Amino acid sequence: MAEDLSPGMLVQHPHEPDWGIGQVQSVIGERITVNFEHRGKVLINAARVALTVVADDDGLARASS
């Protein structure tokens, strides 16, 4: 999943909907830094959490896999 993400993409955490939409800041291996609108910056382990893609940096919605 981490390899499908790139900085600028918009995502949601599947278990934390109250965090709102987050923007991917960086992707290094399985570590994804996301800045969520209601939580701030969070380091996500992609091996444990599959983020849901809302849109990429062009604003295009994409289906989650």
The model's pLDDT over 44-60, given as tens digits with 9 standing for 90+, comes to 999 999 999 996 556 65
Its pTM stands at 0.82
Return the DSSP state at 51. Answer: P
CA distance 14 to 44: 12
Taken in order of first residue, the domains within the chain and their CATH numbers are: 2-55 (2.30.30)
3-state class (DSSP) for residue 16: coil
For 2-33, the pLDDT digits (tens) are 778 999 999 999 999 999 999 999 999 999 99
44 alpha carbon, distance to own chain's centre? 8
The angle subtended at Cα 29 by Cα 16 and Cα 12, nearest 5°, is 20
Helix (H) or strand (E) holding 12: strand 10-12
